[in-house]
Amino acid sequence: MDTIIAPGTAATFDVARIRQDFPILSTTVHGKPLTFLDSGASAQKPRAVIEAMTRCLETSYANVHRGAYALSEAATEAYEAARVAVQRFLGAAEPEEIVFTSNSTVAINLVAHSYGRGVLKPGQFVLTSEIEHHANMVPWQMLRDENRGIGLRYVRVNDRGELDLDDLAAKLADGKVGLVAVTHMSNVLGTVTPAAQIARMAHAAGAKVLFDGSQAAVHRHVDVAAIDADFYVFTGHKLYGPTGIGVLYGKRALLDAMPPFLGGGDMIGSVTLERTTYAEAPARFEAGTPPIVEAVGLHAAIDYVTTLGMGAIEAHERALVDHAMAVLPRIEGLTLIGGAQDRGGVFAFSLDGVHPHDLSTYLDRHGIAVRAGRHCAEPLHARFGLEGGTTRASFGLYTTAEEIDLLTVKLTEARKFFA
């Protein structure tokens, strides 16, 4: 299972060779080879990203947009080239629809502030769901609690961990929802939501739609035009790029209608003692010195996954999901959470009689890195009666079937150990 042939292509996805691109994967933990199964939290970085950022710092770093000298012009060109790379990666109509932020959380907060407070009207609702990461829930609760007259509704999640589309339709029916904000792929269950269908339902009810693509953009080809997203966010560090940079895609007309999120340098048209005018999007949403080196790293990460082919990556990860679904349920005492028909490589589970933190520590002693806790999704864990949390294994493009097999062996041993 280490070599996958992507459907419709002649290219092979050679995991053994690809793993050589990631220096950290050759390290050891507690004297054991590293088995990294926490890519859903933050993915490892290929050498191409590391080298691109180092090269920028060593040869062409300066502040952007301001300097009339060669280094600044080179840095500005690199920064804006990253914007074009993101535009093409997402299928956006123009680079001006791409706003750089520091991560997905800030991107969602930007929409909550500038669209939620600046465009939504009293009496309207934001509609999110039980499956969301806190980043796509807390900002909307904060907006609701400001007594602006903007309400909040939640779409239910069924026992398979899928959005209840009948419930979605019912909560859109009165035409009072102004914005639907839902995940494109769950960071706990791996559930992939039917984005295009959700967008059609939202638009038919007069609502705009935001997708949290923090997980989906890593594992699936995303075309914001094809799914007709009004807003789409993702973060660089999960896409094999650096921390400190995220992306907000917004349709140009919506961005133009939104007031700024933060005030300061580089987001202005002009400033006097009496008043300030603002730059057009995306500059109006990028106050202060932006993440210059991080943008270069994100560009390199996008080039890296694009060269491998998102179709090939998806095929590889589908094979891993199929393998995991075949072997994990065989473990005595292990319960997988959720069972969506369309899912990515994220598996949350519980093991009878073993606390998630104890299990994670046990696995770490064998070189296996997994997540333990509620994964910034407390309401979802409460929905499944798992307030104590779960253990989560999440895959990346460098994950192998052999690593999944090792996980199953150590989970079996862990149950005996703790018994």
Q: What residues are annotated to the active site? A: 376
CB 125, CB 176: distance < 8 Å? yes
How far is it, in rounded angstroms, from Cα 215 to Cα 376? 14
How far is it, in rounded angstroms, from Cα 390 to Cα 406? 19
Tokens of 291: 């993440």
Q: Which amino acid is at 321?
A: V
HSE value, Cβ hemisphere, 13 Å, CA-based, for 198: 30
Closest CA relative to residue 209, chosen from 129, 95, 99, 102: 129
Strand (E) or helix (H) holding 348: strand 346-351
* Structure-derived torsion over alpha carbons of residues 356, 358, 361, 362, reported in degrees to the nearest 10: -110
Q: Are strands 32-33 and 98-101 parallel, antiparallel or unpaired?
A: unpaired
Which phi and psi angles does 309 have, rounded to 5°?
100, 120
CB 255, CB 282: distance < 8 Å? yes
Closest CA relative to residue 211, chosen from 237, 230, 183, 238: 183
- From the number of C-beta atoms within 10 Å of its C-beta (0-12, 13-18, 19+), residue 3 rates as exposed
Residue 206 CB neighbours (<10 A): 12
Q: Which residues contact 322 (CB under 8 A, 6 or more apart)?
A: none
CB 11, CB 4: distance < 8 Å? no
Q: Which residues contact 365 (CB under 8 A, 6 or more apart)?
A: 30, 32
How far is it, in rounded angstroms, from Cα 381 to Cα 31? 34
Instruction: Calculate the alpha carbon distances from 357 to 134, 223, 376, 390 in Å.
Output: 20, 38, 15, 9
> What is the distance, to the nearest Å, from the Cα of residue 232 to the centroid of all Cα atoms in its chain?
10
